[in-house]
Structure 1
Amino acid sequence: MTTSAPRLAPEQDLRKYRSLRDYLVWWFFSLILIIGLLAAFGEYHATRKEALNMQDHNLELIAQLVADQQALTFPSMIAHGQLPSPPPPMDEPPQTDLSLKRKKHKESELQEAKIIIQPLVADGQPIQAHWIQVPKHLADGLSTLQSQGEDWRVFVRTLPTGQQFLVGQRTALRDELARYTSLRMMIPLVVLFPVLLLVITLVIRQAFKPITALALHTDQQKDGVPLPLNNQKIPREILPFVFSINNLLRRLSHSLNHQRRFIADAAHELRTPITALTLQTENLEHTALTPEGIERVRQLRQGLNRSQHLLEQLLSLAKQHSGYTGNIEYVSLTACLHEVLGDLMPLALQKNIDLGVVQQDDVAVHAALQDVQTILRNAISNAIRYTPEGGQVDIRIYGEEALAVIEVTDSGLGIPESDLLRVFDPFYRALGQNDAGSGLGLTIIQEIAQRYGGQVTLHNRPDQGGLRFEFRMVRA
């Protein structure tokens, strides 16, 4: 099992939470859809009514044209869309090809409209109808008739000479033309609907971008160093919440600073008496003591050493919390390792532990020298402390693509799987570990890793036994 230190911004499955953006998009989509359907329904019927009125007007215009021509001299005349034309005057110029084409085009339009011109009365006598059967004494004007199983829309006109005729058109054809015209008028509305929906979605997404950026900025903040949130470009409705969060962060920062100062001051105040007690203990070791006294002095010395180590770790943790441990520089991991091994070799010899460097590539990082030393010292000292006498601790330093890797493996008992995450908590020590550690070593390493964007991982080694520690950060 591989376990890493909790990341500063863990990824979460947000799909189970309600999305305000999706809520607004779907509401706008529903409203636009309903309004669009109502508008389309109204536009369709309004356009259809207007188209029918225009066709009625066309019937009136055709009747007026026929009346002006005074050409109803046949006992029965059916135009089929071709209006009677008066004979051309003698001085009319011959028709060109272009004029013939225009005339044929107009005739084809009338033919498509299927306009029927039918005389009704001539010389005071009714004329037998060939197409539209009309009732007697039909009044002038527009009306709808049914003839031979078909509905007709007709316009009846009586001339001053007493002649009467009608201009008619099938209602089915009129409805088809009106429907076609209405559908054509709806095309812009149908195209506008998805475009409007897309624009609204983009606008809502753009409006939520400052909130997303604010969340990202909050998530990237370092533990223990809360900074106020930037309220630039934040919607006015969100500002009260941002102000409340900033007030909370200021109170939290004040509380954390007070706690760090207390820990640092306490560690400094305790360092002097602990050092004095250590010197007194060394003086006691040079005096003549009974075997029981020697054993008691040894136990006292061990307790003082643990206390001194704890104070040093507390001071180191306080420095990490302060956010500044030194200038950033080019640090060679191999050179830094040699310095740390010189300090920890006596501890390994005391337990007869085989402490060795298996691999040391020429790898460097940009960091504070003290931070790199702290990582190496805490990782190696933990491995030595929790490895039984006669065990083995191996160290590897190598590059992994764009990363520098510090790896420390030991032959100890490892850490229970349930405690692999908790060991990064301050003062926590896994069950079954009898060595008296401070419980702060991994906490300090994690603080450094978060500050440099690095990663700390712990791997149990079930086959070989022990634990493998790995630290990764960007190499120089």
Structure 2
Amino acid sequence: MDGFKRKITGSLQAQLSFWLSAVILAAAVGGGFFSFRGALHEANEFQDDQLRQIAGLMQQQAPHTGLLITQVTEQSEDPESQVIVQVLAPGENRLRLLDEDVSLSPGLPEGVQPLSGQRYTWRIFIRHLPDGARLVVSQRTDVRDELANSSAWRTVFPFAALIPVLILLINVVVRTMLKPVKQLSNELDKRRDIDLSALDDRDVPVEILPFTASINALLLRVKRSMDMQKRFVADAAHELRSPLTALTLQADNIRKIELPAAAQERVLDLRHGLQRMRALLEQLLVMARSQETVAHPVSTIAMEDVFKQVLEDLMPSAEAKSIDVEVDSERSAIFTGQLFDALMLIKNLADNAIRYTPAGGRLFLRARQEGRVLVVQVEDSGPGIPEHEMERIFDPFYRILGNGESGSGLGLAIVKTLADRNNASLAFVNRKTDSGAHAGLSVTVKFRL
């Protein structure tokens, strides 16, 4: 019961359906009650008129005193035919009714009135004849009530049959009227995190428009705020490139001077720190661009060419660690989208693989077409990623401790952002040998064309 109450109070559709159904049910019950009472009254009046008509017909026949017409019906006949006509002589009060006799009061007026017998209750019509005799037409009340109730219930049955139909129609109508609101909700649920465009409220009811307008205004404010943050990060990273370049040149110039070994070591550490900071700025610029919502030109390029451009930048790092790079790309493997996205996504995955693969390891770049899905795989022979760290690998600036490698912690965050922008899926799986030892990391990217 508590769950039902929560559903009613928490859902506008449930409230509308419940209260409209309750109103219709109450109206139908009230209407059915008054219809039943009215039909019952009309049926009784009709049967009373029948008694009057029978009495009028018998009076026209000038019945003699002592006349008794008792129509005893068989079991196969309708009980409504059990009507008894009797003419009582003046002063006679003994009324014979089937298998019982009932005494009439001498002062009974003309008209329809009830009469109680030992076995049954009767409805009688009395008419005084000119000679002082009394013409009495009788009928059992249980027979009359059965006929009246049957007639009254027939008027109520349409209400009873119509109630569930109306309740069902109300639920269908309410669900249909609120369908645009549900569609808006589904649209919001299916949106990517970076999609802050306004809701399409053209088919939304007028009563919901203020709400959707407020949501659109909120989305616009959030979009402006995020754009300001992105521009700030991009501008800050861009502005810092020049002084970092100058500092790097100064560090190179200092190395040319004859300095003590300890000083040369400190200068070398300074230069490495500047290189890491420069790499971080480059990653920040890539992150800012990957989060842009501006549409860029769409390109169609073979994945073999994408791998070639990526390796042009990364081969020096791979050769420095004697890493064997293997490329396997089908000629039908074609990427359609923003070239920047494909290059940066594969580059960051390959850069991570080279960075964390031990010297003398291997790197595999594969691409194949499976129907309307482009499957790209980047595999290495490194240590992989601990299972308990998997859920946080896409967090910006998050790095796995104890790996001994330098980095910004933005590589996989950029990969996730670019994959989401291209409706691509990512799967990270630790490869293992038959003996269960770690054999490296396999990353699968699926682009749906």
Q: TM-score, normalised by structure 2?
A: 0.86
Decide which of 177, 180, 200 is 2:150's aligned counterpart: 180
Residue of structure 1 equivalent to 2:420: 450
**Cα RMSD (Å):** 3.1
1:69-88 alignment, distance < 5 Å: 69-71=61-63, 75-79=67-71
Distance between the aligned counterparts of 2:135 and 2:297, measured in 1?
106
Give the C-alpha shift of residue 209 in structure 1. Answer: 1.6
Identity of matched residues, %: 37
Secondary structure of the structure 2 residue equivalent to 1:421: helix
Distance between the aligned counterparts of 1:125 and 1:423, measured in 2?
112
1:171-320 alignment, distance < 5 Å: 171-282=141-252, 291-292=261-262, 294-320=264-290
Give the C-alpha shift of residue 381 in structure 1. Answer: 0.6
Secondary structure of the structure 2 residue equivalent to 1:356: strand
Give the C-alpha shift of residue 443 in structure 1. Answer: 1.7
For structure 1, the residue ranges without an aligned partner over 5 or more in a row are 1-13, 82-107
Decide which of 53, 62, 66 is 2:54's aligned counterpart: 62
Q: Which moved more, 1:323-332 or 1:356-365?
A: 356-365
* 1:406 is aligned to 2:373: no
Distance between the aligned counterparts of 1:416 and 1:23, measured in 2?
50
* 1:133 is aligned to 2:102: yes
Secondary structure of the structure 2 residue equivalent to 1:407: strand
* 1:474 is aligned to 2:448: yes
Check conservation: 1:360, 1:398, Cα contact below 8 A. Answer: yes
Distance between the aligned counterparts of 1:43 and 1:171, measured in 2?
21
Question: Which amino acid in the other structure matches residue 364 of structure 1?
Answer: I
Change (3 A) 1:69 1:80: farther
Secondary structure of the structure 2 residue equivalent to 1:424: coil
CA deviations over 1:375-434 (Å, ceiling 9, x no partner) = 110111111112232333322222344321222222333333343232212222223333
* 1:374 is aligned to 2:307: no
Distance between the aligned counterparts of 2:158 and 2:53, measured in 1?
31
Check conservation: 1:120, 1:129, Cα contact below 8 A. Answer: no
1:33-72 alignment, distance < 5 Å: 33-71=25-63
* 1:153 is aligned to 2:153: no
The higher relative CO (CA closer than 8 Å, separation ≥ 6) is in 1
Check conservation: 1:325, 1:371, Cα contact below 8 A. Answer: no
Aligned length: 436
Give the C-alpha shift of residue 281 in structure 1. Answer: 4.5
Distance between the aligned counterparts of 2:395 and 2:376, measured in 1?
21
Distance between the aligned counterparts of 1:237 and 1:128, measured in 2?
74
Give the C-alpha shift of residue 288 in structure 1. Answer: 5.7
Check conservation: 1:325, 1:370, Cα contact below 8 A. Answer: no
CA deviations over 1:136-192 (Å, ceiling 9, x no partner) = 424321111223401111111223344422222211111111221122111210121
CA deviations over 1:95-125 (Å, ceiling 9, x no partner) = xxxxxxxxxxxxx99x552241321325876
For structure 2, the residue ranges without an aligned partner over 5 or more in a row are 1-5
Check conservation: 1:409, 1:469, Cα contact below 8 A. Answer: yes
Distance between the aligned counterparts of 2:303 and 2:9, measured in 1?
45
Give the C-alpha shift of residue 296 in structure 1. Answer: 3.9
Secondary structure of the structure 2 residue equivalent to 1:371: helix
Change (3 A) 1:163 1:17: closer
Secondary structure of the structure 1 residue equivalent to 2:357: coil
Decide which of 166, 169, 179 is 2:139's aligned counterpart: 169
Residue of structure 2 equivalent to 1:440: 410
Secondary structure of the structure 1 residue equivalent to 2:15: helix
CA deviations over 1:350-393 (Å, ceiling 9, x no partner) = 12223223564622232011111111101111111122323333
Distance between the aligned counterparts of 2:123 and 2:395, measured in 1?
91
Question: Which amino acid in the other structure matches residue 370 of structure 1?
Answer: F
Check conservation: 1:334, 1:362, Cα contact below 8 A. Answer: no
Decide which of 422, 429, 435 is 2:392's aligned counterpart: 422
Give the C-alpha shift of residue 201 in structure 1. Answer: 0.8
Distance between the aligned counterparts of 2:20 and 2:295, measured in 1?
53
Residue of structure 2 equivalent to 1:6: none
Residue of structure 1 equivalent to 2:113: 143
CA deviations over 1:234-283 (Å, ceiling 9, x no partner) = 34444443333333223222211211111111111112222333444555
Check conservation: 1:141, 1:156, Cα contact below 8 A. Answer: yes
Give the C-alpha shift of residue 294 in structure 1. Answer: 4.9
Check conservation: 2:110, 2:128, Cα contact below 8 A. Answer: yes
Q: TM-score, normalised by structure 1?
A: 0.81
Check conservation: 1:413, 1:467, Cα contact below 8 A. Answer: yes
Change (3 A) 1:46 1:447: same
Give the C-alpha shift of residue 327 in structure 1. Answer: 0.7
